A = this chain, B = another copy of it.
């Protein structure tokens, strides 16, 4: 069923033209204003006099605290940094429904204060516990009731997935897709679309928000043996002209038999990485974080690198609350995330990296081939440069399958985006990779995502963008 929806680009419900028109209409209809403000104007929030932690008066939502990190991974053995603490698990939920035999997903237009370009496309429900227990005294999130008591619904997936380990301390969200049967009310800022249509929107810069991307990335299309796949191929590609590269990505998603490494080998590799590297995290008061300075508008690293903490006042229509202040995290530069892919045994494999980040639940998570802030490495000595970064920056245009900018959660990050790339390497690209890297098929990636806490947010974001059509 998921596969059928992923291959459906135009349906009886809405054409792509109609979907773009709906987005544009929503953009026109929604007014918003977001203004950076000094911390002194940050209503409802305060720096704790003892710890310097930046927190909400209610003690809910999230706080900015400090961590002291010690690790033998990478080139910096110890550092301090601010980090977002949000112990609550939030809901990222999408309702889906069979319409004319094809699964459609209910997405909404939504503005968050940190968004680039205002409106983005969000899941049906995007709610922290503070949201849905109505700490901010706003309206109850729409469609919440389906997710609180999913009795008449069919659960397609329901997994805990991590957020960015570089800036969140062990934060997780509950990624859910529920199928509903009967009629449900669809308000004007909501729209049904297929997975294939969502895939097309993912080719636009900064349109599908991070929360939608992570939920979509968890969808698996099933596992099949070679015989079944041959059958499907004969049926699908009876016209030889259609037998193009994408067919191979379909194979990578579905083929449970052809891969460079078995699951036992990949799990052993992950086990080895978790045993080899140590990560010691000590929470410290924000005012004891070394090398970071607070002025009237920002908390910044003294070099100006990495990221800063700032504050905004936001006035946004069509939200539970129309006006509020909050802190946001702002990256110093645009990041770059990229998967290198290579056909191995007739099936596309992705070059996955085991990456340690301070907020990880379990030392390392699996990341894209390249995940970094490019400018941080401009002046690096060569051996400290991230592997494959130079390669990614110099590929030929015809190697690039996917190249867009995708933004991070606008409820926490201010105008943060990553250049997101999927790049096919040349035939002579070596199969041998450094010890912290491994080749996996999309089918294997989906299986690891299914079992939680293996793939990081950046990797899942790229995985969501892989089109099967």
A→B interface (CB under 8 Å): 89, 155-160, 174, 176, 263-265, 267-268, 271-272, 274-275, 361-362, 450-453
Contacts of A174 in B (CB 8 A): 271, 275
Nearest-CB residue, chain B, relative to A89: B275
Contacts of A157 in B (CB 8 A): 264, 267-268
Q: Once the chains are docked, how many angstroms separate the CA of A89 from the CA of B263?
A: 22
Q: Are A264 and B156 within 8 A (Cβ)?
A: yes
State the Cβ distance, A160 to closest chain B Cβ, in Å. 5
Query: 19 A–B contact pairs at CB < 8 A?
Result: A89-B274, A155-B264, A155-B265, A155-B268, A157-B264, A157-B267, A157-B268, A158-B267, A158-B268, A158-B271, A159-B268, A160-B271, A160-B274, A160-B275, A174-B271, A174-B275, A176-B268, A267-B450, A271-B452
State the Cβ distance, A214 to closest chain B Cβ, in Å. 14
Contact of A267 among B159, B265, B267, B361 (CB under 8 A): B159
Contacts of A158 in B (CB 8 A): 264, 267-268, 271-272
Contacts of A274 in B (CB 8 A): 89, 160
Q: Once the chains are docked, how many angstroms separate the CA of A271 from the CA of B157?
A: 10
Tally of this chain's copies:
2
Among A265, A271, A272, A362, find the residue whose CB has the most chain B CB atoms closer than 10 A: A271
Q: Once the chains are docked, how many angstroms separate the CA of A362 from the CA of B176?
A: 19
Contacts of A275 in B (CB 8 A): 89, 160, 174
Q: Once the chains are docked, how many angstroms separate the CA of A71 from the CA of B272?
A: 33
Q: With contacts A267-B452, A361-B361 known, what are 13 further pairs, Cβ within 8 A?
A: A89-B274, A155-B264, A155-B265, A155-B268, A157-B264, A157-B267, A158-B268, A159-B271, A160-B274, A174-B271, A176-B268, A267-B451, A271-B452
Contacts of A268 in B (CB 8 A): 155, 157-159, 176
Among A89, A157, A176, A275, find the residue whose CB has the most chain B CB atoms closer than 10 A: A275
Contacts of A155 in B (CB 8 A): 264-265, 268
State the Cβ distance, A41 to closest chain B Cβ, in Å. 34
Q: Once the chains are docked, how many angstroms separate the CA of A14 from the CA of B36?
A: 77
Nearest-CB residue, chain B, relative to A269: B158
Q: Once the chains are docked, how many angstroms separate the CA of A160 from the CA of B273?
A: 11
Contacts of A450 in B (CB 8 A): 263, 267
Q: Once the chains are docked, how many angstroms separate the CA of A452 from the CA of B448?
A: 11
Q: Once the chains are docked, how many angstroms separate the CA of A452 from the CA of B272?
A: 13
Nearest-CB residue, chain B, relative to A280: B87
State the Cβ distance, A59 to closest chain B Cβ, in Å. 14
State the Cβ distance, A300 to closest chain B Cβ, in Å. 31
Contacts of A265 in B (CB 8 A): 155
Q: Once the chains are docked, how many angstroms separate the CA of A158 from the CA of B275?
A: 11
Contacts of A453 in B (CB 8 A): 362
Contacts of A264 in B (CB 8 A): 155-158
Among A156, A159, A450, A452, find the residue whose CB has the most chain B CB atoms closer than 10 A: A452
State the Cβ distance, A180 to closest chain B Cβ, in Å. 16
- Top 4 closest A-B pairs, CB basis? A158-B268, A451-B451, A155-B268, A158-B271
Q: Once the chains are docked, how many angstroms separate the CA of A362 from the CA of B272?
A: 20
Q: Once the chains are docked, how many angstroms separate the CA of A453 from the CA of B452?
A: 11
Nearest-CB residue, chain B, relative to A263: B450
State the Cβ distance, A158 to closest chain B Cβ, in Å. 3
State the Cβ distance, A281 to closest chain B Cβ, in Å. 12
Contacts of A362 in B (CB 8 A): 361, 453
Contacts of A361 in B (CB 8 A): 361-362
Q: Once the chains are docked, how many angstroms separate the CA of A452 from the CA of B362?
A: 11
Nearest-CB residue, chain B, relative to A453: B362
Nearest-CB residue, chain B, relative to A274: B160
Q: Once the chains are docked, how many angstroms separate the CA of A265 from the CA of B178?
A: 12
Contacts of A452 in B (CB 8 A): 267, 271
Q: Once the chains are docked, how many angstroms separate the CA of A450 from the CA of B270?
A: 12
Contacts of A263 in B (CB 8 A): 450
Q: Once the chains are docked, how many angstroms separate the CA of A263 from the CA of B222?
A: 12
State the Cβ distance, A113 to closest chain B Cβ, in Å. 26
Q: Once the chains are docked, how many angstroms separate the CA of A262 from the CA of B423?
A: 35
